[in-house]
Structure 1
Amino acid sequence: MNALRKIKRLKAGARANAIRPVRRVGASHGGTMANWNPQRAHRGSERLDRERMQTRTEDIVSNDGHAASIRSTLTTNVAGPGIRPQSSLAAKKLNLTADQILEIESAQEEAFELWTSEAHIGGLLHFADIQALSVSTLIPFGEFCYLCRFLDEPARTRKQRNFSFTLQDIHPLRLKTPPNELMSPYLRDGINFDEDGEVDGYYIHTPAEINDPESYTYYKAKAGHRRRFFHCFRSVDPEQVRGVSILAPVIKLFRDKYDFLDYELIAQIVTASFPIAIERAIPPEGFDDPMSKDWDPRWYQNVDAGQILYTNPGETVNPISSDRPGNNFDPFFKTVIRTLAAAAGLPYHQVIKDFSETNYSSARAALLESWREFEVYRGWLVRHFLQPIRIMVLEEAYLRGYWKIPAGAPGFYEAMRLWTACRWTPPPRGHIDPDKEAKANERAIATGQKTYKEVLGEQGKDWREEFEQEAVEQNYRKKLNLPVLDPANVQTYPDEPEEQEEEIPKTGAA
């Protein structure tokens, strides 16, 4: 009986495994796949590959106009004039009234605004400038680093600062492993991990100077609950520990494009100089010996404007012509730029800053797509950098008495996340059709789909500041006996019919 059941199980297993999976073409070794054998960097080459790649991308964004445009576009749209926080405390969870919440939120925002001008250790950068520097560094290096500095009281008083907490920017190439620690099992590319894989600290390299040898300084990642070092990068691979530039997949194409355009430009310069070649038969007709005393040739090294050339006997003048660039230069070059823009997640027109070949619908679709990309960057920046910094600032502001917690509410350390909750206001989004978008916001507020806080936040404004300013202006109009503005009295106009969009001529580019 047992043998019969065993036979039945074997037959069932055979039926279950009767159909084998289809072999994937990507795993074959035939045809064009024969020599495709990707290699993984080993522990010793990981650091060298990263440093070489970061150095190349740094060179590209410094010398290539389109790479610089990508960095400028992302920096301007992600950080812009600075992402501002708006305190958003929960009254019910904190056991506070609405008036108490407004008072605390206002005090918190004033304290943080006071710190923003002191954010940089050297006093060179406002916090908005630090945000722009962070995004600008992220593009070529894929990461950025800041050391948290805490001034002691004498230094804080001497420098006339209200806060001791400041930030010092660190070049990503300075984050590296000391030579004597290359074999450490917990140290990887300048970052030291503990047994659980959590970052313990960072090694910062100081290059050798004339009188000082090179050195490596170890900084702990945290001191208690406070951050001591910010190393931020967007993770795209599992177990990733260092950043990768978004330009890395197309770095070779950038370099080839740069050389291609440079060679074409040189060819045009040579052609524009109108070079000529004098062709001569040897020996010239009528002279048996070109070196005889009767042979006194004329030589032309330069051709001036309006000059008439009289050649020697037997010579003819031939202009050197060039057929470059060819007819396919423009579509080919645009295809290259589109590839580079796609790697950066940007529309082609935003990279070249030319919207002459687009219409309203395509421009709006492109800008909405890029805006989603900017929001992803901005959300990542807030989570990993801006909000942790704000928590540290509000903690010091609380300890220094810039804002207070009313009696009966939970303590700061007891409910730190609740006391530091906020909404970060991004730079204002550009308007393609301001009238349509204003009407859409008006309907959204009227139907409860949006609040003034959300609508004004999308425009990079603080709703409290706007309401306070509106009240000031209304009171001043009353003082001057001017009519008080009433939205109900605004004259409305019927929507204009949509204009017929012109068809964009095809240029042959993909």
Structure 2
Amino acid sequence: MSRRNRNRAKTPHQPTGKIEAPTSAGLNVRAQYDAAGHGRRMRGWRTPSSGPNLATAGLETIRNRTRDVVRNDWAATAGTRSWVTNLIGSGIVPRPKTGNAGLKVRLINLWDEWSRVADADGVLDFYGLQTLATRSWITSGEVFIRMRPRRLEDGLPVPLQIQLLEADMVPDFDADVRHGLPQGNRIRCGIELDRIGRRVAYWCYRNHPGDRGSMVNSAELVRVPAAEMRHMFEPQRPGQLRGVSDLAPVLTKLRGVMDFDDAVLERQRLANLFTLFITRPTPEGPNPLEAIMGYDAGLGSESSVIMEPGLVQELAPGEDVKFSAPPDSGANYSEFVRSQHIGVSAGQGLPYELLTGDLKDVSDRTLRIILNEFRRYCGQRQWQVIIPMLCQPVRDEWATFAAMAGAILPSEISDARRVTWAPEAWQYIHPVQDVQAKRIEVEAGFRARSQVIAAMGEDPDEVDELRRQDAARGMRNAAASGGR
């Protein structure tokens, strides 16, 4: 091929079969997400690229404001109460998974005896500690659980107790060098990390920094090994070390709605004050001011009218009465407050109906959809936060100390730790329909009967034993009545 023909083959109008990248002149440089733009609408949107721990700066302020709003605002109080009630109920109970019936009974009895004295403060049982820990987590964003070994002579069924520590007990500070800090370790947000980022210790105050008469000295922090402490929180970003309250996204709205509602309430209180005004004609004369003063002096105490039932009041010639007409709460007040509380409930992850008790225009089918979605969220938080961060670590330590005290054999520690945690069962929405549906599932082989019982928070073996006892009691009663 001649040089002229080769050049012609490379012209843009003659494809060579070779794929070439488009030039910048052929690209649409304006093709991007609107959210990535910097135009007029996005100009005031500040988006700091903070890391997961720098983003939690100001945790103490958030905690203080959250606790204040929970103390003083009904919506925050109701939201916290609803979360704790639905997550814990009467308690999340461990069910041993061992096949040894005798060992299972011993483990259940030992746990029941210990759970009554599990609180290091001597106030609650273990299930009460679950409630308190969950309330602290929802309100403050986190709670610390410290394992407190006890002496054998203390007389406990298992020489171990649990102490709950508020988030304030672990100050949010960073340090690379500190007395007592092992070389190579570092402190981030009050948590000591080793070279590969594992939690190895927590630095705690000896006393609560906000308590009455507390003398706080940051130089006297206590280093508590991570093996003796557990941290219950719900991380929102990978690498996050401390927890943030559930109410943080709606704190501003809660405060605004509370202030607005108080202002309307005060306005209505003032509006209920029955007020009237007496108007008089302007006196005529060479000196109107002297005439007015003389007119008032002549009336004396009769210038004010005291309202009484059945009062007949005679007014002076030219006087008229006008009543005050203060503004009411507004025709849109209830709808406005309702819409604000819908946003507050969504921010807390709660159905509006559970937060407020307002079931207006809610059908049974709609309520079932709402509750089913909420229950899935509750299950997620139970099995991903409460059970692995609170319940199972306590159970593991309990089994170890039970063996140390001779309550169980060392070979039984593994069986003592292997449990199925059973949250309190949800109440039926439609009892007859729900029970029939479960029965059909069992008869069709979709679920085992023991699964249905376990989902109700009960122990299948215990249910079967109670049924056998009931059957035997029924036969004895029948035989006794037949003999008579």
TM-score (norm 2): 0.83
Letter in 1 for 2:148: R
Aligned-residue offset at 1:182: 9.5
Letter in 1 for 2:358: D
Letter in 1 for 2:274: F
Check whether the contact 1:297–1:312 (CA below 8 A) recurs between aligned residues: no
For 1:211 and 1:145, how far apart are their aligned partners in 2? 20
For 1:107 and 1:290, how far apart are their aligned partners in 2? 97
For 1:122 and 1:436, how far apart are their aligned partners in 2? 45
Corresponding residue for 2:124? 125
Aligned match for 1:369, one of 349, 356, 373: 373
Letter in 1 for 2:167: P
Letter in 1 for 2:462: E
Corresponding residue for 2:292? 290
Q: Deviation per CA, 1:136-173, whole angstroms, max 9, x where unpaired?
A: 1111211111221111234x1xxx32222111111212
Corresponding residue for 2:45? 36
For 1:170 and 1:140, how far apart are their aligned partners in 2? 14
User: In 2 relative to 1, CA 168–316 (structure 1 residues): closer, same or farther, beyond 3 Å?
Assistant: farther
- Correspondences of 1:420-499 after superposition (within 5 Å): 420-481=417-478
Aligned match for 2:82, one of 73, 80, 95: 73
- Correspondences of 1:79-158 after superposition (within 5 Å): 79-89=88-98, 98=99, 101-154=100-153, 156=154
For 2:176 and 2:314, how far apart are their aligned partners in 1? 77
Corresponding residue for 2:332? 328
Instruction: State which drifts further: 194-203 or 441-450.
Output: 441-450
- Correspondences of 1:374-453 after superposition (within 5 Å): 374-380=378-384, 381-404=386-409, 411=411, 416=414, 420-453=417-450
Instruction: State which drifts further: 354-363 or 251-260.
Output: 354-363
Check whether the contact 2:56–2:244 (CA below 8 A) recurs between aligned residues: no
Check whether the contact 1:178–1:203 (CA below 8 A) recurs between aligned residues: no
DSSP 3-state at the match of 1:85? strand
For 1:301 and 1:253, how far apart are their aligned partners in 2? 45
Corresponding residue for 1:488? none
User: In 2 relative to 1, CA 480–235 (structure 1 residues): closer, same or farther, beyond 3 Å?
Assistant: same
Instruction: State which drifts further: 240-249 or 457-466.
Output: 457-466
Check whether the contact 2:442–2:448 (CA below 8 A) recurs between aligned residues: yes
Letter in 2 for 1:104: L
DSSP 3-state at the match of 2:300? coil
Aligned-residue offset at 1:367: 0.8
CA RMSD of aligned residues (A): 3.3
Aligned match for 1:167, one of 162, 166, 172: 162
Structure (1 or 2) with the larger CA radius of gyration: 2
Aligned-residue offset at 1:87: 1.2
User: In 2 relative to 1, CA 481–178 (structure 1 residues): closer, same or farther, beyond 3 Å?
Assistant: same
For 2:244 and 2:479, how far apart are their aligned partners in 1? 59
Letter in 1 for 2:262: D
For 2:54 and 2:195, how far apart are their aligned partners in 1? 23
Check whether the contact 1:177–1:203 (CA below 8 A) recurs between aligned residues: no
Aligned-residue offset at 1:403: 3.6
Q: Deviation per CA, 1:415-469, whole angstroms, max 9, x where unpaired?
A: x4x6522211111211111001111111222223222332122222222222222
Check whether the contact 2:341–2:352 (CA below 8 A) recurs between aligned residues: yes
Instruction: State which drifts further: 447-456 or 187-196.
Output: 447-456
Q: Sequence identity of aligned pairs in percent?
A: 21
Structure 1: where are the runs of 5+ without partners? 1-7, 90-97, 406-410, 485-510
Aligned-residue offset at 1:305: 4.8
Kindly tell me the number of residue pairs found equivalent between the two proteins: 451
For 1:478 and 1:282, how far apart are their aligned partners in 2? 102
Letter in 2 for 1:294: G
Instruction: State which drifts further: 164-173 or 310-319.
Output: 310-319
Corresponding residue for 1:497? none
User: In 2 relative to 1, CA 313–45 (structure 1 residues): closer, same or farther, beyond 3 Å?
Assistant: farther
TM-score (norm 1): 0.79
DSSP 3-state at the match of 1:132? helix
For 1:153 and 1:451, how far apart are their aligned partners in 2? 43
